[in-house]
Amino acid sequence: MLETARRYRRDGISPVKTVRDLLSAIEVEPYNAFISYDEEGALLVAEKAERAIEKGSEEPLLGLPIAVKDNICTKDLPTTCASNILADFAPTYDAYVIERLKVRGAVIIGKTNLDEFAMGSTTTTSCKGPTKNPWDITRTPGGSSGGSAAAVAAGLCAGALGSDTGGSVRMPASFCGITGLKPTYGTVSRYGLVAFASSLDQIGPMTRTARDAAVLFDAIRGHDPQDSTSLVEGYAPLSLNGHDLTGVRIGVPRAFFGEGLAHDVERSVRYAQGVFEELGATIVEVELPHLAYGVAVYYIICTAEASSNLARYDGVRYGYRAGAATLIDTYLNTRTQGFNAEVKRRIMLGTYVLSAGYYDQYYRKASQVRSLIVKDFAGAFEHCDMLLGPTTPCTAFGLGEMLDDPLSLYLLDIYTIPANLAGLPAISIPCGFGDTGLPCGLQLMAPALREDLLLGASIAFQDVTNFHQVRP
């Protein structure tokens, strides 16, 4: 992003030409990263930006082509959630984050592919077909924001927005070798983000570099009265300078390096740990005793919330409606035909864990363990300023792999889920390459509202490494 902004000014590159070239590339892109794009709208904004830049405007976002995950509402443009049930849905309003980007003159270049309703880790459960990883098109880009990650990695946009409920920004960032930030819960308005699990969902930037992530995050964060969970204050100022890591204590949770972590990912993460030590940080070992329960807790809470949030797609209020003779058959046919198998599985699981006889056993219990995980982090942050570990247990795997094994897929979220359960900020940055030459991701986590620390440390890391500059 910053590089594109610089080229517009320093080299006199035309935003209109840049956007036009990208639209042509998107039309024929082989990754299926995009679901739709708005040529006319994008060019119109690019023209305005070009004039403003000619007049000397220094606004960094002017004319920058930004891709947006297709579960974020864009006025009068399709917002499908990659689901047949919203195939023809075009919102009458912009999400808060889109308004923010438009005010700054950014170009919404297109809407990107995702797992249906952001439920998944592969971007293969989309009703629009799978997205392919630009590093190897036989492999998954990760998910659910796989379209945004692929678009950034392939250079089809300057930056992108994704949503992260249990890792959907960080995991595809890790698989595609880019930077992805899951902000503190409440710092980015969810107004206009199609709800999956409201207590966990958060929109985040996906970019090539941590500096770009800081610029994009700064543009979309802030208090929004339209979201009752939006934080009013506490936003730390962000800097584009690397954070001085002298004396900064980085906690390495033992549980993050246990069974199931691929040795090539571990090697890269340990290398990164060494880089941070060279930069002056002190490594301390910490415990997160309840980490092992994270996945179970998450899949109870997120399905419970999803079952409630997705009740609105009934064929009556809006979206797809199946033909039927009676009202009850309209509901049944609409939902059977409109949702894919994974979404239906989650609605059923969620309905079950909330049902009268099982609420105490599942939902209440999960909420209690969630509190313990929150306490684990508070305890860990008494001994350190940040946490470091892998983003995912492995690198990108084959497109068809594990699809018939939802439990194994759920386990891939083990390292990313805790930050969502605790509402904490977390970032994934490229930290090396695995045995098959595919990118590995490093995850850093910080106390609430300390994105400045995460981004500052990532910038410092990227100033002395070049993993983020290698292109597929």
**What is the per-residue burial (b if ≥16 Cβ within 10 Å, else e) of 401-436?**
ebbeebeebbebbbbbbbbbbbbbbbbbbbbbbbee
Lookup: tokens for 381: 């942050």
Least distance in Å: CB of 103 to ligand GLN? 27
- Give the Å distances, CA to CA, from 103 to 45, 107, 235: 11, 10, 20
Least distance in Å: CB of 355 to ligand GLN? 21
Between residues 32 and 163, which has the closer beta carbon with respect to ligand GLN?
Answer: 163
Of 144, 202, 230, 340, the one binding ligand GLN by CB under 6 A: 144
Is 305 a binder of ligand GLN (CB under 6 A)?
no
Between residues 165 and 174, which has the closer beta carbon with respect to ligand GLN?
Answer: 165
Least distance in Å: CB of 121 to ligand GLN? 4
Site mask for ligand GLN (CB under 6 A), range 348-387, x = bound:
----------------------------------------
Location of structure tokens 């199609």: 194
Between residues 14 and 163, which has the closer beta carbon with respect to ligand GLN?
Answer: 163
Is 309 a binder of ligand GLN (CB under 6 A)?
no
Q: Under a CB-based contact definition with an 8 Å cutoff, are residues 163 and 69 in contact? A: yes
Q: How many residues bind ligand GLN (CB under 6 A)?
A: 14
Is 83 a binder of ligand GLN (CB under 6 A)?
no
Distance, in Å, from the CA atom of 246 to the CA atom of 281, rounded to the nearest integer, reads 5
Is 168 a binder of ligand GLN (CB under 6 A)?
yes
Is 307 a binder of ligand GLN (CB under 6 A)?
no
Between residues 120 and 134, which has the closer beta carbon with respect to ligand GLN?
Answer: 120
Is 167 a binder of ligand GLN (CB under 6 A)?
yes
Least distance in Å: CB of 5 to ligand GLN? 29
Is 269 a binder of ligand GLN (CB under 6 A)?
no
Is 302 a binder of ligand GLN (CB under 6 A)?
yes
Cβ-proximal residue to ligand GLN, closest one: 168
Going by C-beta distance under 8 Å and a sequence separation of 6 or more, which residues neighbour residue 171?
A: 121, 142, 143, 391, 392, 412, 413, 416, 428, 441
Is 413 a binder of ligand GLN (CB under 6 A)?
yes
Lookup: tokens for 72: 């974020």
Least distance in Å: CB of 416 to ligand GLN? 7
Is 428 a binder of ligand GLN (CB under 6 A)?
no
Catalytic residue positions, numbered: 69, 144, 168
Is 204 a binder of ligand GLN (CB under 6 A)?
no
Mutual angle of helices 341-354 and 294-309, in 10-degree steps: 100
Q: Which stretch binds ligand GLN (CB under 6 A): 125-133, 147-155, 157-165, 273-281?
A: 157-165
Is 120 a binder of ligand GLN (CB under 6 A)?
yes
Distance, in Å, from the CA atom of 216 to the CA atom of 199, rounded to the nearest integer, reads 23
Q: Under a CB-based contact definition with an 8 Å cutoff, are residues 202 and 183 in contact? A: yes
Q: Which stretch binds ligand GLN (CB under 6 A): 14-22, 164-172, 256-264, 314-322?
A: 164-172
Between residues 119 and 449, which has the closer beta carbon with respect to ligand GLN?
Answer: 119
Is 166 a binder of ligand GLN (CB under 6 A)?
yes
Of 164, 212, 224, 376, the one binding ligand GLN by CB under 6 A: 164
Q: Which stretch binds ligand GLN (CB under 6 A): 115-123, 227-235, 329-337, 449-457?
A: 115-123
Is 119 a binder of ligand GLN (CB under 6 A)?
yes
Is 71 a binder of ligand GLN (CB under 6 A)?
no
Going by C-beta distance under 8 Å and a sequence separation of 6 or more, which residues neighbour residue 35?
A: 70, 78, 80, 82, 110, 111, 112, 113, 126, 128, 147
Least distance in Å: CB of 256 to ligand GLN? 18
Binding site for ligand GLN (CB under 6 A): 118-121, 144, 163-168, 196, 302, 413
